[in-house]
Chains A and B, each alone.
Chain A
Amino acid sequence: MKKAIDSIMPSSSAGMSRIDGRLKVTGAAKYSAEYTPAGLTYGVLVGSTITKGSITSIDTKAAGQAPGVLAVITHLNAPKVPGDQPEGGKPVPPKGAFKVFYDDKIYYNGQPIALVIADTFERALFGASLVKAQYHTDKHITNLPDNRSNGFPPRGEGTYKRGTEDAWKAAPFKVEQEYIVPTVTHNPMELHAIIANWDADNKLSVWDKTQGVKGTQEDLAHLFKLPVENVQVHSQFVGGAFGSALRTWPHEVAAIIGAKVVKKPVKLVLSRADMFTSVGYRPFTWQKIAIGATADGKLTGITHEAAGQTSSYENFTEGPTGVSQNLYACPNVNTKYHLVALDIATPTWMRGPGEATGSFALESALDELSYSLKLDPVELRLRNYAEKDPESGKPFSSKFLNEAYQLGADHIGWSERKQEPASVKKDGWLVGYGMAGGMFGAYRSGATIRAKMNTDGSLLLQSAVSDIGPGTGTAMVLIASEQMGIPAEKIRFEMGDSSLPNAPTQGGSATTASVGSAVYQACADLKEKFQKLIGNGGTDKPDYAKVLKEHNLPSLEVVTETGGGNGMEKYAMNSWSVHFVKVLVNPATGVVKIDKVACVADSGHIISPKTARSQVVGGAIGGIGMALMEESIIDHRYGRYINNNFADYHVPVNADIPQIDALFVNKPDPIINPMGAKGMAEIALIGMAAAVANAVYNASGKRVRDLPITPDKVMA
C-alpha cells in the first residue's frame, strides 16, 4: 500500500460509503440503551445538591413507596462492590477513582447519592425526585484562577527543560501572555447509557456506551471480582464520545449494583445535565506562554506554564505543555505543568487531550509574535520548522507539514490576507485570516483479528474494537478488500463485543494503525494459508471460494495478533495538521462568522477518503465550537454548573458552519505500519481554536485570549 500519491481533497460523495450507513439512516443501528432483555427495569440517579461535605441523612421513604418503584439504593443499603473495598493489609491509597454509594462523603455537586429503580422510566424519574438528603456542608472551592497558588506538579510530569531556562527574556522580540481554555464538555449526542444484567450470581452482561469493550470488561471484572470471561460487554454502536467513554464511570457501576438488588436488568440513561458532571470534561486550564525570537523570526526560547484542574480525589493529567516542547525547532524550552485540585468531578481526555489546550496558547502566542515581527505567520512557522524531533533528536518517521502549510495557504487564498489587522472590510464586515497547526503522537498498539473466508467468497473479520463514529469498520473493510483482492461488499466486519478478538480501546487516534495492522497481517496470513493449500504456482489472490470447494473445506480461518508500535525507539512519530480560517467580524456587534475553512492533515496514507474527510471536517467543527462558544460555567458560590443543557451550553449548529475543505498530504509513513497510515482524530481539532482566534485578530484587531470568543469579548 505504500504508494506515493498526490495530495487529495475528497468531496463528501467521493469514495466508498460507510458499511454501517444503511443501519444508521434507517434507525436500525442499536445503541446501548436500545436493547430489551426480558424484565427490563429503569434506573434514575439522584445527584448531590451540595459540593462538599457529607450526607447526614437521606429520606428514601416516599420514593420507596411511589408507584412502580422497586428499589432505592444509597450508600446505606448498597451491596458492597468488592473491588472498591480496601485490600487486606494494604494501606488505602490517598487518592483513587470515585466509588459510588461507598460512603457518606460528597466530593462534587451532582455526585450520585441514590439510584431509584422502577418498572417504567417515568416512575423511576418521579421516584428520584422524592429522595431528599440532608447534608453537613464544608466550604468548597471550584475556581481555578483564584486557587492557582495551591497547584502541585503531577507525579513525574511537572517540568521540562532543554537549553537555557527563560531564554526568551534575552530576545529582541518577545511575547508574554496568559491564555484560558475553560471547561469544555464532550457532550456526545448519545447520552451515556448502560443496561446491566446479572445472568447468574457470578455472570454479568452489560450493553454499555464504551470506547473499549475489553477495557470495560476488565474494569468490571476487577470491580465485581469476577472471572473476565464471566463479564460480557456489548457496544456495537456508540453515539459519539470524543473521550467521554474511555473509562468506566460511577453510573455504570451504579446500574450493575442496581441490577444485583432488583435481580432484573436495569437500564440507566444519564440526563443531559448529568453529562456535565458524570463522564468527564476537558479541564479548565490557565496557561502562560513567553516566546523570544530574533529579528529574522528564529525562536530563541519558549517558556510555557500551565495549571489544569483536577478533582480532590484523583489526579488527572494530560500534557498541555508538550506542544511547546515538540512543535518547533527552538533550542531553549522550559515548561511547568501543575494540577489544581478542586471540589469537582475528575476531568478526562477529550479529543486532542492536552495538545488542544496547549496549542491554543502556543499557536496564539506565535501569531502575536508574528505581528511584532511583522512577519507572515506561515513564514514564521517555516523559519522554525523542526526537521527532527526537537525533544529527542530522533528523526521523524515522516513529516510533510511544510507541504501541508502550502496546500492550506493556497486553498484558503492566504495571499489575500493583509498583515495589518482590521484593515479589510466587505459589506460592513471585517475580514480576516488566521492559521494554526497541531500535532499528536502517532501510536499503535497490539490487536488481534479473526479472519474467515467462506465458500461463497465472503470474508468475515472480527475484532472487539468500538467505533464511536470515525468509521472504523469501513476502513478495515477497505484494507482487507485491497489485501485480499475482493470487493468490499464481500467483507463483513464484526465489532463492539467483548467476546470478539482483542482490540485496544478506541482512543488516541490509534485505531486504524493498530487494528488496521492486524487486519493487514491477518489478510497476509490468510493468503499464505491459501497458498499452502494451492501449492506452488498459485496466484497471490486466488479465487478463494473455488479453492475452498476444490479442497472440500467449509471455510479457512486465521487468528492473527500484531504487536504495538514498532520503530518508536528509532523514530519520533506524529501526525500533523494545519488549519486555515477566514472569518467575518461585525465591528458593531462583535459577532464572528466563519466564512471559509481549509484543514490539511499530514496523517500518512488515506485509506478511506470519505470517512477521513468527515473526521477532519468534524474535528474542525469541534474546534470552532471550542473557539467561539463552548464553556461549562460553574457558579462558584454553589459549585454547580449553571448552563448544563444544550440551550445554554452552545455547540455549533448547522448555521454556524460553512463548507469545510479537508485536504490530505496523503503520503504514506514508511515506518509506522504496513498501510503507511497515521491517526487523524485528534489533529483534526488540535490547533483549530487558535486558527479561529488568530483570524478574529486579523479581522478585528481584537486578541481574545480567554475562550470562547463570544460577541461580548470581541466588541469589548
Chain B
Amino acid sequence: MESKKTCTGPDEGLDIKDSSRRNFLKQSTLLTAIALTPGTAIKAAADHVDEQFAAVFEKMPLKMEVNGKQQSLSVEPRSTLLDILREQLDLTGTKKGCDHGQCGACTVHVDGHRVNSCLTLGIMVNGKKITTIEGLAKGDQLHPMQEAFIKHDGFQCGYCTPGQIMSAVACIREGHANSEHEIREYMSGNICRCGAYPNIVNAIQEVKDGGMKV
C-alpha cells in the first residue's frame, strides 16, 4: 500500500449498529492490536508502522448463530464460511467438493436462503443465522427431506448429500418444486457424481406432495 496513513484496523466507516464491531474498534489501536497479534505480524509491523500493519492484522471477531447456537469466533477475513464450519467448528457435514462455487456440496442456509459457503467469507455473515445439515433434524427426529432421501436412495457415496438436502429443502421453500422439470432445474446447482439425480427428484417430489412442513 502506498498511502502513509496511521493504522486504524478494519474499522473504516464502521457499521455502528453492530456492538461487537464497536467493541472491536475500541480495542484496535495499534498497541492493543500488537498485543493481540501473533509474532509474525509484530515483526512486519515493526518494519513499517503504517497501513501495512492493517494488512497483516490477522483476525476479526465473528458472531453468528449456527444451528441455533450462538458462536463467537475470531477469524481471518480470508476464511470462508465453509472452512470455518469444517475446520473451526468441526461441522464437517458441510462438504468441500470444489471450493469454487461449481458443485454445491457446500450448500448451507444463511438466514434461510441456500448459498455456497465456499464463496462466502465468514466475516460477511456476521450476525446471521446459519443452518447446516447438522441442524436440520430435530434431535433424533429426521427432517422429512432426510427421511425421503433415505427412502428413495438419493445418494450413493453420500458426499454431495448434505448439500443436496439443504438445496432440496430450499427448493421446496422457494416454491420451485412444482414439477419434475422444475425440480431438476432448481437442483442443478448440486452435482452428484454417483448419479442419484432421479432418486433425488423422487425424494423431493414425495416431500412436496406429502405437504409436510419443510
Interface residues, chain A, CB within 8 Å of chain B?
12-13, 17-18, 20-31, 33-34, 36, 65-68, 120-122, 187-191, 237-242, 269, 271-272, 468-471, 610-611, 613-615, 617-622, 645-647, 651-655, 657-660
Instruction: Say whether A617 contacts B158, CB under 8 Å.
Output: no
Those of B193-214 within 8 Å (CB) of chain A: 193-203, 206
Please encode chain B, from 99 to 114, with 1 for each CB lying within 8 Å of some chain A CB and 0 for all others.
1101101000000000
Main secondary structure on A side of the interface with B: loop
- Measured in the bound complex, the distance between the Cα atoms of B97 and A651 in whole Å is 13
The one of A36, A611, A622, A654 in contact with B201, judged by C-beta atoms closer than 8 angstroms, is A654
- Tell me which residues across on chain A come within 8 A of B91, comparing CB atoms: 27
- Tell me which residues across on chain A come within 8 A of B56, comparing CB atoms: 67
Instruction: Say whether B150 contacts A21, CB under 8 Å.
Output: yes
- Measured in the bound complex, the distance between the Cα atoms of B159 and A20 in whole Å is 12
Q: B40 on the interface (CB 8 Å rule)?
A: yes
- Measured in the bound complex, the distance between the Cα atoms of B35 and A390 in whole Å is 79
Please encode chain B, from 33 to 48, with 1 for each CB lying within 8 Å of some chain A CB and 0 for all others.
0000010110000000
Instruction: Say whether A189 contacts B153, CB under 8 Å.
Output: no
- Tell me which residues across on chain B come within 8 A of A22, comparing CB atoms: 142, 146, 150
Instruction: Say whether B142 contacts A26, CB under 8 Å.
Output: yes
The one of A239, A611, A652 in contact with B195, judged by C-beta atoms closer than 8 angstroms, is A652
Instruction: Say whether B184 contacts A651, CB under 8 Å.
Output: no
Whole-angstrom distance from the CB of A15 to the nearest CB of chain B?
Answer: 9
Instruction: Say whether A614 contacts B153, CB under 8 Å.
Output: yes
Instruction: Say whether B198 contacts A660, CB under 8 Å.
Output: yes
Instruction: Say whether B83 contacts A24, CB under 8 Å.
Output: no
Offer 12 A-B interface pairs, CB within 8 angstroms, sorted by A: A13-B202, A24-B158, A25-B146, A27-B91, A31-B95, A239-B160, A469-B157, A614-B156, A645-B98, A646-B98, A646-B103, A657-B197
A12-B199, A469-B156, A610-B153 are known contacts. Are A646 and B90 too (CB-CB below 8 A)? no
- Tell me which residues across on chain A come within 8 A of B58, comparing CB atoms: 67
A27-B92, A645-B98 are known contacts. Are A654 and B158 too (CB-CB below 8 A)? no
**Residue in chain B with minimal CB distance to A17:** B150
- Measured in the bound complex, the distance between the Cα atoms of B86 and A33 in whole Å is 10
Q: By the criterion of a CB under 8 Å from any partner CB, how many residues of chain B are at the interface?
A: 69
- Tell me which residues across on chain B come within 8 A of A471, comparing CB atoms: 156
Instruction: Say whether B191 contacts A189, CB under 8 Å.
Output: yes
Among A25, A65, A188, A614, residue most surrounded by chain B Cβ atoms (within 10 Å):
A25
- Measured in the bound complex, the distance between the Cα atoms of B206 and A619 in whole Å is 24
- Tell me which residues across on chain B come within 8 A of A619, comparing CB atoms: 195
- Measured in the bound complex, the distance between the Cα atoms of B96 and A360 in whole Å is 33
Instruction: Say whether B94 contacts A27, CB under 8 Å.
Output: yes
Instruction: Say whether B152 contacts A621, CB under 8 Å.
Output: no
- Measured in the bound complex, the distance between the Cα atoms of B98 and A187 in whole Å is 10
Instruction: Say whether A190 contacts B157, CB under 8 Å.
Output: yes
- Tell me which residues across on chain A come within 8 A of B187, comparing CB atoms: 654
**Residue in chain A with minimal CB distance to B201:** A654
- Tell me which residues across on chain B come within 8 A of A269, comparing CB atoms: 96
- Measured in the bound complex, the distance between the Cα atoms of B92 and A65 in whole Å is 30
Instruction: Say whether A655 contacts B184, CB under 8 Å.
Output: yes
Instruction: Say whether A24 contacts B90, CB under 8 Å.
Output: no
Instruction: Say whether A67 contacts B184, CB under 8 Å.
Output: no
- Measured in the bound complex, the distance between the Cα atoms of B156 and A614 in whole Å is 7
Q: B18 on the interface (CB 8 Å rule)?
A: no
- Measured in the bound complex, the distance between the Cα atoms of B200 and A569 in whole Å is 43
Instruction: Say whether B196 contacts A25, CB under 8 Å.
Output: no
Whole-angstrom distance from the CB of A151 to the nearest CB of chain B?
Answer: 32
Instruction: Say whether A272 contacts B195, CB under 8 Å.
Output: no
Instruction: Say whether A655 contacts B185, CB under 8 Å.
Output: yes
- Measured in the bound complex, the distance between the Cα atoms of B187 and A475 in whole Å is 29
**Residue in chain B with minimal CB distance to A69:** B40
The one of B38, B132, B192, B197 in contact with A27, judged by C-beta atoms closer than 8 angstroms, is B132
Whole-angstrom distance from the CB of B169 to the nearest CB of chain A?
Answer: 12
- Measured in the bound complex, the distance between the Cα atoms of B56 and A68 in whole Å is 13
A12-B152, A26-B137, A272-B99 are known contacts. Are A654 and B197 too (CB-CB below 8 A)? yes
Instruction: Say whether A191 contacts B199, CB under 8 Å.
Output: no
- Tell me which residues across on chain A come within 8 A of B159, comparing CB atoms: 31, 188-190, 239-240
The one of A23, A33, A653 in contact with B188, judged by C-beta atoms closer than 8 angstroms, is A653
Those of B131-181 within 8 Å (CB) of chain A: 132-134, 136-137, 142, 146, 149-162, 165, 180
A610-B153, A614-B199, A660-B198 are known contacts. Are A189 and B95 too (CB-CB below 8 A)? yes
**Residue in chain B with minimal CB distance to A26:** B137
The one of A31, A34, A618 in contact with B196, judged by C-beta atoms closer than 8 angstroms, is A618
- Tell me which residues across on chain B come within 8 A of A28, comparing CB atoms: 93, 134
- Tell me which residues across on chain B come within 8 A of A617, comparing CB atoms: 195-196, 198-199
Instruction: Say whether B198 contacts A658, CB under 8 Å.
Output: yes
- Measured in the bound complex, the distance between the Cα atoms of B131 and A335 in whole Å is 57
- Measured in the bound complex, the distance between the Cα atoms of B92 and A241 in whole Å is 19
Whole-angstrom distance from the CB of B168 to the nearest CB of chain A?
Answer: 10
